[in-house]
Amino acid sequence: MTALPQTTSKKLGLVIDLDTCVGCQACATSCKEWNTQGYSAPLADEDTRGADPHGPWLNRIHGYEVEDTNGKDSRVVHFPRSCLHCETPACVTVCPTGASYKRAEDGIVLINPDTCIGCKLCSWACPYGAREYDVQEGVMKKCTLCVDRIYNENFEPEDRQPACVKACPTGARHFGDLGDENSAVSQLVKERGGFDLLPEMGYKPTNKYLPPRAKRDTPQAGIEALPKGDGSAMDRLFKLADRLLSGN
């Protein structure tokens, strides 16, 4: 189990657009909500009313600030982070029980909640912080790519997508088969220069991030500066008003 499949027929994953994400947390709470009652339920919280409320979340939104090279201008980037369903993830191979596995069919990396012993080694092996331990359940939790939604026949076909993708109000999250070059997500990655996180770690993430686009704050091509005031602005306006009357 802990051995990785040689290949997977599909490479299902997410493409997250950092140029569009506003950091609204919809994907995070929708994920928590679906997955606390779906596969591997629940995601139990600690100290919910107290000083230190915390619990497992399968998707978290970071906020980073990027300075321009001149150190002055900057941009805030909201950065959702969940399991990247890597192609060669050590989180799976280190698992002593076989609870962690990668599905041969679609590449989804899952944890079997019935066999996980909660040793946490897989969370150490994940560079992306995607695995979170559930103290109350005593097992590891991670993004399931909503495996219990995407094939769920109780949903209308258009709802068969991850909870986070369905929720995202800006449409910054995309779901699809990244193994298929012609899929919409693959095209998007190509067009927008989608990239891998920490590629040198060799985990080969399936999920891709689309970079924030270059800012368009320089004058757009074809826009001419407005004429500067030369004291005759009133005249110009009068002429304009005149033209209106003559219908030109």
Partner 1 sequence: MNPAYSVIFFTTASGAGYGLLALLGLTASSVGQSPSLAFVLVSMVLALALITAGLLSSTFHLGHPERAWRALSQWKTSWLSREGVAAIVTYPFALAFGLAWSGLYPAPDAIAPLGVITALLSLITVFTTGKIYATLKTIRAWHQPLTVPVYLFFALASGSALHLALSAFFTRDPGPVAPVALLSLGTLAVLKFLYWRAIDQAPRDRTMGDATGLGDHVRQWEVPHTTKNFVQREMGFVVARRHGKRLRGLFYILLLVAVLLELLAITIPLVSIIAFFIVFISAWVERWLFFAQGEHVVTLFYGNAQA
Partner 2 sequence: MSAEPAIALSPKTWDEIKTTTCYMCACRCGIKVYLKDGTVTYIDGNRDHPVNKGVICGKGAAGIKQHYSPGRLSKPLIRVGERGSGEFREIEWEEALQTATTWLSDVRKSDPKKLAFFTGRDQSQGLTGWWATQFGTPNYAAHGGFCSVNMAAAGLYTFGGSFWEFGEPDWKHTKYFLLFGVAEDHGSNPIKAGLGKLKKRGAKFVSVNPIKTGYSAIADEWVGVRPGTDGLFVGAIIHELLNAGQIDGEYLNRYTNSPWLVIDNKGAADHGLFARDENGSTLVWDAHKKAPVSTSDHEAARALMGRFTLPDGRNVATSFQLIAERYLAPENAPDAVTERCGVPADTIRRLAAELAHVAFKETVTLDVPWTDFTGRRHEKMIGRPVAMHAMRGISAHANGFQTCRAIHLLQIMLGTIDTPGGFRYKAPYPRPIPPHIKPTGKPDQIWPGEPLPGPPLGFVTGPEDLLLAADGTPQRIDKAYSWDAPIAAHGMMHMVITNAAKRDPYGIDVLFMYMANMSWNSAMNIPDTLKYLTAKDETTGDYVIPKIIYSDAYASEMVHYADLILPDTTYLERWDCISLLDRPISEADGPADSIRQPVVEPERDVRPFQTVLLDLGARLKLPGMTTQEGNARYPGGYPDYIVNHERAPGVGPLAGFRGAEGTQSGKGAPNPNQLQAYIDNGCHWFYELPDEHKYFKHVNKGYLDWATGFGLIGKPEPIIHQLYCEPLQKFRLAAEGHGAIQPPDGHRARIIEAFDPIPFWYPPFEGDRVDEAKFPMHAVTQRPMAMYHAWGSQNSWLRQILGRNWLYIAKERAHSLGIEDGDWVTVTSHHGQIKGQAKLMNGVNPDTVWTWNAIGKRSGTWGLKKDAPEAKQGFLLNHLISELLPEREGGYRFSNSDPVTGQAAWYDLRVRVEKSSDQSNISSPQFPTLNNLGVGQ
What's the rounded Cα separation, in Å, for the pair 225 and 210?
33
Triad 35, 41, 42: Cα angle to 5° = 85
Nearer to partner 2, 182 or 225 (CB): 225
Phi–psi pair at 191, nearest 5 degrees: -60, -40
Letters for 16-55 (x = contact with ligand SF4 by CB under 6 A, - = none) are -----xxxxxxx---x--xx--------------------
Least separation in angstroms between residue 201's CB and ligand SF4 is 9
Asked if 129 touches partner 1 (CB under 8 A), the answer is yes
Stretch 195-234 residues interacting with ligand SF4 (CB under 6 A):
203
Nearer to partner 2, 48 or 69 (CB): 48
How many other C-beta atoms can be found within 10 angstroms of the C-beta atom of residue 38?
18
Asked if 122 touches ligand SF4 (CB under 6 A), the answer is yes
SS3 of 131-164: CEEECCCCEEECCCCCHHHHCCCCCCHHHCCCHH
Asked if 69 touches partner 1 (CB under 8 A), the answer is yes
What's the rounded Cα separation, in Å, for the pair 188 and 169?
18
How many other C-beta atoms can be found within 10 angstroms of the C-beta atom of residue 94?
16
Out of 42, 77, 103, 118, the residue judged to bind ligand SF4 by CB under 6 A: 118
Indicate the helix (H) or strand (E) that contains 112.
none
**Residue 46's beta-bridge partner residues?**
54
Asked if 178 touches ligand SF4 (CB under 6 A), the answer is no
Phi–psi pair at 37, nearest 5 degrees: -130, 0
- Contacts with partner 1 by CB under 8 A lie at 1-3, 18, 28, 52-57, 60-69, 71, 76-77, 79, 81, 90, 93-99, 115-121, 123-129, 131-135, 137-140, 195-198, 200-202, 209, 211-212
- Contacts with ligand SF4 by CB under 6 A lie at 21-27, 31, 34-35, 58-59, 61, 78, 80, 82-86, 89, 91, 94-95, 97, 99-100, 109, 111, 116-122, 126, 128, 130-131, 140, 142-146, 162-164, 167-168, 170, 172-173, 203
